[in-house]
């Protein structure tokens, strides 16, 4: 609980709702501004960025429609800047940081914060943006290499700094960034987009002072956080008390080490919840380790899915939830551990917390979402020595089967929330040909309700050569099913599938030559419930849509398809003989 509370009777609930929506709109308008003005595919098309408004003390008050796993990490990054600058924060300043050991997440995620002041000079709030920038230098283009051994290999670390001071750009910092990245026009363009969005948000928040006294606005910001805490505590209190545990696995550590165990124990007691990762594997030599605040943020995002959607998304939601991760474990590494590829392990943190929630709430949770959390980079130089760098994240791989419905094929993973990048955009802006983008039949985990199908993306390289870097997973540990449902099919990475067909590791860096092809097959999602209880007509419809082959229908569901219909007698006999 917070030390100082506003009394629920001291505020007008209607005015509170009006202020909440005004602040959320300001955060959403930052997103719109970035989409309109940014340069890179990973920002303007993948939508790998997030926005929020924090109060004068750095507490999250309102978030935009953004990536859930970003927002729990926003306050630690802002705190790192506030601790560094202390009282030296003034109108016209914009603070920036990407240093994971100063509160940020990983080097490609550059956080920026602009303070907002009243006419009397009192600080009222901060407007905040995090963007995943295409490149920050380092040994491998794109910043997602899994085999780095220390953070110094991963690129340019920006400690808490002022990228704008008193309304003037810090030309020295801009020049340092421009000199250290491979695609400076793209990176600097995205940074200027980020700064422009903050300036727009600052002006919009100042306009609120016409309707609400700044001191009153501060009171309502505190109340919004307290209000969210009260609702969150009520939601947790409605869950069953007790302790449950779950284990999930990363195939490897990205640097040649064996599987990584991610264990969590969830305890609900009254109106509080503890998420304890004690028992998780030690930190590894590779760059998959997520730092503590990203681990906590991913945990918050997973827990958010089982509580009332109307709870305001702000710092009050975090207060009743304690996340424990011993220092030096895989999900809380010690300096100077690399964390550049921590996004993929972050997906595993989310899946293990969803898994433990399924032990607590077996009748509510869907099975494990599929996808390999695939990130791919193609980078090199055109004949005129101008650089190219395509960075794409692909997580539109649907959901696991649920208690009442199939997983949505190609639907967004709610805890990822990045968008699909169309083949046309990739081919227009990058020297690759996207030869195939399709569902993979028979890959959804079988169950009473089937998991979503896996997806394939197949790329052909057009220039003479390029560095390719792939970050994926779930080749060895398939997405899990629930309540008797089967796991989704594992993923696979294949180089030159039509000729040499070399199956690669899930994470690798290589040089591709002109007309070489990379094929990424992403895992399917887990199924829910006994597959032999699935409605035969639902299986038939899957066969008609070519999501399931007749052979798979027979093997996985004991359903016999005869032409365009179900052989009811043969199906009944086959299902009766399953023992």
Of the listed ranges 8-22, 161-175, 341-355, the one predicted with least confidence: 8-22
Q: Give the pLDDT confidence score for residue 261 in this predicted structure.
A: 97
Q: What integer pLDDT is reported at residue 396 of this predicted model?
A: 67
pLDDT at 167 over 60: yes
pLDDT at 95 over 50: yes
pLDDT in tens, 4-59: 455 545 789 999 999 999 999 999 999 999 999 999 999 999 999 999 999 999 99
Domain boundary residue among 210, 229, 248? 229
- pLDDT score recorded for residue 321: 98
Q: Are residues 528 and 539 in the same domain?
A: no
Confidence of residue 577 (pLDDT cuts 50, 70, 90): confident
Mean local confidence (pLDDT), 351-359: 97
For 406, 416, 490, the CA distances from 493, given in Å and listed in that order, are: 26, 22, 10
Closest by alpha carbon to 41, among 290, 394, 521?
394
| Residue 329, Cβ density class (10 Å: 0-12 exposed, 13-18 middle, ≥19 buried) | buried
Q: pLDDT of 506-563, one tens digit each? A: 999 999 999 999 999 999 999 999 999 999 999 999 999 999 999 999 999 999 999 9
pLDDT surpasses 50 at 380: yes
Residue 301 included in any domain: no
Instruction: Inform me whether the pLDDT recorded for 184 exceeds 80.
Output: yes
Encode pLDDT of 285-316 as tens digits: 899 999 999 999 999 999 999 999 999 999 99
394: left (phi over 0), alpha (psi -120 to 50) or beta: beta
Do the domain assignments include residue 319?
A: no
The Cα–Cα gap between 65 and 382 comes to 37
| SS3 at position 212 | coil
β partners of residue 68:
none
What pLDDT sits at residue 39? 95
**Tens digits of residue pLDDT in 208-250:** 999 999 999 999 999 999 999 999 999 999 999 999 999 999 9
**Neighbouring residues of 162: CB distance < 8 A, sequence distance ≥ 6:** 85, 93, 94, 95, 96, 170, 173
Domain co-membership, 442 together with 558? no
Q: For the segment 398-431, what is each residue's pLDDT rounded down to a tens digit?
A: 889 999 999 999 877 767 778 889 999 999 999 9
Is 358 inside a domain boundary?
no
pLDDT above 70: percentage of residues in the chain:
98
First-last CA distance in the chain: 54
Question: What's the rounded mean pLDDT across residues 67-95?
Answer: 94
Residues 560 and 444 in one domain: no
Q: Is residue 157 part of a domain?
A: yes
**Which of 63-77, 231-245, 268-282 shows the lowest mean pLDDT across its residues?**
63-77
Same domain, 525 and 539: no
Q: Any residues with CB less than 8 A from the CB of 467 and at least 6 apart, and which? A: 140, 141, 377, 378, 379, 380, 509, 510, 511, 512
Query: For residue 246, is it within any domain?
Result: no
Query: What was the pLDDT predicted at 411?
Result: 79
160 Cβ contact partners less than 8 Å away, ≥ 6 residues apart: 80, 81, 83, 84, 85, 95, 96, 97, 99, 102
Continuous segment of H or E residues that includes residue 428:
helix 423-429
Helix, strand and coil content of the chain, in percent to the nearest 5, comes to 30, 25, 45
Are residues 44 and 174 located together in one domain of the fold?
yes
Tell me how far apart the alpha carbons of residues 487 and 158 are, in angstroms, rounded to a whole number: 42
Of 149 and 372, more confident:
149
Q: Please count the structural domains in the chain.
A: 3
CB-based contact 330:284 (threshold 8 Å): yes
Is the pLDDT score of 320 beyond 70? yes
For residue 48, the enclosing domain spans 8-229
Confidence of residue 3 (pLDDT cuts 50, 70, 90): very low
- Residue 9's pLDDT is 55
CA neighbor of 561 nearest in space, from 553, 449, 569, 548: 553
pLDDT value, residue 394: 84
Q: Same domain for 510 and 539?
A: no
Domain shared by 22 and 141, yes or no: yes
Say if residue 494 is in the same domain as residue 539.
Answer: no
Q: What is the pLDDT of residue 7?
A: 53
Q: Which helix (H) or strand (E) holds 232?
A: helix 214-237
Same domain, 75 and 170: yes
Q: Is residue 440 located within the same domain as residue 551?
A: no
Q: Is residue 297 part of a domain?
A: no
Mean pLDDT of 448-475: 96
What would the two tokens of residue 423 be? Answer: 């083949």
Q: In this predicted structure, what is the pLDDT of residue 13? A: 93
The yes-or-no verdict on residue 366 having pLDDT over 80 is yes
Domain boundary among 211, 229, 247: 229
DSSP string, 88-130: ---TT-EEEE--GGGT---TTEEEEEEEEE-TTS-EEEEEEEE
Residue 305 resides in a domain: no
371 within a domain of the structure (yes/no): yes
User: Is pLDDT of 207 > 60?
Assistant: yes
Asked if residue 489 and residue 435 are part of one domain, the reply reads yes
Q: What is the mean pLDDT of the chain?
A: 94
From residue 404, alpha-carbon distances to 147, 401, 415, 541 in Å are 41, 8, 20, 17
pLDDT for residue 4: 44
As given in the structure block, the two tokens for residue 516 are 């070489």
Are both 455 and 554 inside the same structural domain? no
């Amino acid at each position: 609980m917070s030390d100082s509370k506003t009394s629920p009777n001291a505020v007008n609930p209607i005015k509170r709702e009006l202020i909440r929506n005004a602040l959320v709109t300001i955060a959403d308008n930052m997103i719109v501004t970035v989409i309109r003005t940014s340069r890179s595919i990973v920002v303007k098309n993948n939508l790998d960025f997030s926005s929020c408004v924090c109060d004068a003390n750095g507490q999250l008050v309102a978030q935009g429609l953004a990536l859930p796993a970003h927002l729990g990490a926003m306050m630690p990054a802002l705190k790192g800047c506030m601790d560094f600058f202390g009282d030296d924060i003034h109108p016209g300043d914009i603070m920036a940081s990407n240093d994971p050991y100063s509160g940020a997440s990983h080097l490609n995620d550059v956080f920026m914060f602009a303070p907002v002041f009243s006419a009397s000079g009192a600080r009222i709030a901060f407007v905040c943006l995090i963007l995943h920038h295409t490149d920050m230098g380092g040994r491998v283009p794109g910043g997602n290499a899994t085999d780095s051994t220390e953070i110094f290999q991963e690129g340019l670390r920006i400690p808490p700094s002022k990228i704008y001071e008193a309304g003037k750009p810090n030309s020295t910092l801009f020049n340092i960034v421009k000199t250290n990245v491979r695609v400076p026009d793209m990176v600097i363009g995205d940074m200027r987009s980020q700064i422009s969005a903050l300036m727009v948000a600052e002006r919009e928040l100042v306009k609120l002072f016409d309707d609400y006294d700044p001191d009153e606005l501060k009171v309502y910001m505190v109340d919004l956080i307290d209000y969210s805490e009260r609702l969150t505590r009520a939601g947790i209190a409605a869950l069953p008390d007790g302790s449950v545990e779950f284990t999930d696995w990363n195939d490897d550590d990205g640097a040649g080490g064996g599987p990584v165990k991610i264990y969590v124990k969830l305890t609900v007691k009254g109106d509080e919840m503890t998420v304890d990762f004690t028992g998780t594997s030690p930190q590894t030599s590779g760059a998959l380790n997520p730092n503590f605040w990203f681990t906590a943020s991913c945990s918050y995002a997973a827990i958010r899915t089982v509580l009332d959607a109307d709870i305001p998304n702000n710092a009050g939601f975090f207060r009743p939830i304690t996340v424990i991760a011993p220092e030096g474990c895989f999900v809380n590494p010690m300096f100077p551990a690399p964390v550049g590829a921590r996004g993929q392990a972050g997906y595993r943190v989310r899946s293990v917390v969803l898994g433990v929630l399924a032990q607590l709430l077996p009748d509510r949770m869907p099975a494990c979402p599929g996808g390999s959390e695939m990130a791919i980079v193609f980078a090199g130089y055109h004949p005129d020595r101008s650089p190219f760098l395509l960075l794409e994240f692909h997580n539109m791989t649907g959901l696991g089967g649920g208690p009442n419905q199939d997983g949505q094929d190609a639907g967004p993973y709610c805890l990822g929330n990045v968008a699909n990048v169309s083949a046309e955009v990739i081919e227009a802006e990058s020297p690759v040909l996207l030869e195939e983008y399709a569902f993979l039949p028979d890959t959804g985990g079988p169950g009473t309700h089937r998991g979503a199908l896996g997806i394939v993306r197949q790329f052909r390289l057009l220039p003479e050569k390029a560095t390719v870097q792939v970050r994926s997973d779930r080749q060895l540990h398939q997405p899990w099913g629930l309540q008797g449902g089967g796991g989704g099919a594992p993923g696979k990475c294949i180089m030159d599938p039509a000729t040499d067909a070399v199956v690669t590791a899930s994470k690798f860096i290589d040089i591709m030559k002109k007309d070489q092809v990379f094929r990424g097959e992403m895992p399917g999602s887990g199924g829910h419930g006994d597959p032999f209880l699935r409605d035969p007509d639902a299986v038939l419809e899957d066969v008609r849509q070519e999501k399931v082959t007749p052979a798979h229908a027979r093997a996985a569901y004991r359903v016999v398809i005869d032409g365009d219909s179900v052989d009811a007698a043969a199906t009944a006999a086959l299902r009766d003989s399953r023992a």
